[in-house]
Amino acid sequence: MSLQTIQFTQEQARDLAGVSPGEVRAWRKAVSYLAAKPGKAARFTFVDILGLAITRRITGDFHVRISDIGDSMDALFRALSETRPSDLEGSIALIDAQTARLVAGSDLAAKPLKDPTFVVPCDQLIHDLSQRVMPLAPASVQAALPFAPQMVKKGR
């Protein structure tokens, strides 16, 4: 018996990653991994949504055009798709102009960086996405009763 992966619709993926339909439309033109998921029937995994969130951070926070890093983001999506979500804890995405790779946070110092590289820690993004996918229920606000419960019978 195999474990089924949860798949999200395009609208759910956009909402979770915080991206607009226009952004995803533009990204599809530059990232072939996303181009392979067209239309309303497109389904996204948790790691796909993480890839969208990383792309949003780079294009939004650093104002990088997706056309300039499309091949790198494609490499990132493919690396993410080959990785189990549980193995991403403590991972860091390294994205340069030509490629992308995932490394463990503890191995970052051992990886030589030759070109300008975006370094995106995955932990906070994974935590934020996890909270949006499966929010924890708030603790009960009912106070403990100061007396023991008693059984009441009908007619007495």
* Domain membership flag for residue 140: no
Instruction: In whole angstroms, give the CA distance from residue 105 to residue 152.
Output: 61
* Domain membership flag for residue 23: yes
In contact, 108 and 92? CB cutoff 8 Å: yes
| pLDDT tens series, the chain, 156 aa | 555 678 899 999 999 999 999 999 999 999 999 999 887 788 999 999 999 999 999 999 999 999 999 999 999 999 999 998 888 989 999 999 889 999 998 887 777 888 899 999 999 999 999 888 877 666 666 677 677 777 777 765
* Domain membership flag for residue 53: yes
* Domain membership flag for residue 2: no
What was the pLDDT predicted at 156? 57
Q: What is the pLDDT of residues 42-85, one digit of tens each?
A: 899 999 999 999 999 999 999 999 999 999 999 999 999 999 88
* Domain membership flag for residue 92: yes
* Domain membership flag for residue 139: no
Instruction: In whole angstroms, give the CA distance from residue 95 to residue 118.
Output: 5
End-to-end Cα, the chain, rounded Å: 56
| Residue 99: burial class (beta carbons within 10 Å; 0-12, 13-18, 19+) | middle
What was the pLDDT predicted at 133? 83
Number of domains in the chain: 1
* Domain membership flag for residue 96: yes
Angle at 55 (CA atoms; ends 51, 60), nearest 5 degrees: 150
| pTM score over 0.85 | no
Beta strands in 6-113 (DSSP E): 8-9, 43-44, 91-95, 100-104
What was the pLDDT predicted at 87? 87
**Domain range enclosing 100:** 10-133
